Amino acid sequence: MVNLNDVNLNRLVTFNAVIEAGSFTAAAAKLGLAKTMVSKHMQLLEAEIGVNLLVRTTRRLILTEAGRAFHEACVEILNRTDEAILQARTGLESPSGTLRVATPIDYGALVVVPVLVELQMRYPALKIELVCADHQVDLIAEGVDVAVRLGRLVDSGLIATRVGSFVKWVVASPEFVAAFGQPDTPDMLPGFPYVMLSVLPQPQTITLLGPQNKKQIIQMTTTAFSSNTVNACRAAVLAGSGVALMTDFSVAEDVQAGRLLRLLPEWTAPTADIHALFQATPHRQQKVRVFVEALKTALSASI
């Protein structure tokens, strides 16, 4: 039995070209090879598979019985190969298949979902699956195509593309301000009840930048409400529990509608970046590419 490792499958292309063209000379012209090289490939192919495929006369080439059967099989193999390549490249030309995106819970619901819905409407062959989690998702282990992460990145071996940025504002409800007043300077913040996001590395520490890029670090001392999710903290602030440092994208509509008030409006947390992360591969899938570009576009339009 012939071992496939001993057969150069590239010679199947040459053999098929010889049969379709009808001569070594015509096949050489079609393949861009020297006639001697085509002849050499045919000799080696016959030697590798151990049968004579062609009978050469001065006027034409004649397939042997084994050659006819082998040619039929070669045509099938090459057609299947073309189909496999076309199927593999489909995602490069037009996004299709399932796109799995991982995001933080609040950012996914508020920002990423509208982008994904618009993307799916634009590309009906693309299916969307959004994984919302406030822990850092393992792309490989959890089968995620692209993850959106906020703030500082750790070295993960993934490709990171910056898609936007965000800041944080000090906010409180109008009812809370009516009852407790509002601070005039950052130094006054520790005197107010604080709504704390407990999953942060230093949940009671607030860093603010003000006029002339002045930096102030404040330690909040009185925790009125604590939760491990941004959505719960936002709900507590809306209900009047205390002041909080919230991302602009999560409370911008509340501030615009008057449901929340920005305290110390000249002060914000330092600007932080938003990145899209995906695996390092020679050819980035089109579904990942179009999502990253759509998210960039959406974020730039919101500035």
Per domain, the residue ranges of the chain are 4-92, 94-159+279-301, 168-263
Same fold, 94-159+279-301 and 168-263: yes
pLDDT of residue 89: 63
Residue 88 has pLDDT above 80, yes or no: no
Residue 5 has pLDDT above 60, yes or no: yes
Copy the structure tokens of residue 238. 């809306």
Task: Assess contact for 245 and 169: CB atoms under 8 A.
Answer: yes
Q: Using CA atoms, how far apart are residues 280 and 276, in angstroms rounded to an integer?
A: 12
Cβ partners under 8 Å of residue 116, min gap 6: 99, 101, 128, 130, 291
- The residue assigned the tokens 């298949």 is 97
As a whole number, mean pLDDT of residues 78-89 equals: 73
Comparing 30-44, 77-91, 115-129, 143-157, the range with the smallest average pLDDT is 77-91
Q: How far is CA 72 from the centre of its chain?
A: 42
pLDDT tens digit sequence for 180-214: 999 999 999 999 999 999 988 899 999 999 998 89
CATH architecture of the domain formed by 168-263: 3-Layer(aba) Sandwich (3.40)
Copy the structure tokens of residue 254. 């509340």
Task: Assess contact for 71 and 80: CB atoms under 8 A.
Answer: no
As a whole number, mean pLDDT of residues 280-291 equals: 79
pLDDT of residue 93: 57
State the DSSP code for 57: -
CATH match of 4-92 with 3.30.930.10: no
Rg (CA), the chain: 32
What does each C-alpha distance from 237 to 50, 250, 295 come to in angstroms? 81, 12, 28
- CA dihedral for 16, 21, 24, 28, sign (positive or negative): negative
What does each C-alpha distance from 193 to 181, 236, 284 come to in angstroms? 12, 12, 48
- CA dihedral for 184, 186, 187, 188, sign (positive or negative): positive
Q: How far is CA 112 from the centre of its chain?
A: 12
CATH architecture of the domain formed by 94-159+279-301: 3-Layer(aba) Sandwich (3.40)
Q: Using CA atoms, how far apart are residues 295 and 119, in angstroms rounded to an integer?
A: 10
List, in sequence order, every residue forming a beta bridge with 9; answer none if it has no partner: none
Task: Assess contact for 240 and 175: CB atoms under 8 A.
Answer: yes
Nearest C-alpha neighbor of 193 from the set 224, 220, 236, 234: 224
What pTM does this model have?
A: 0.65
As a whole number, mean pLDDT of residues 274-293 equals: 84
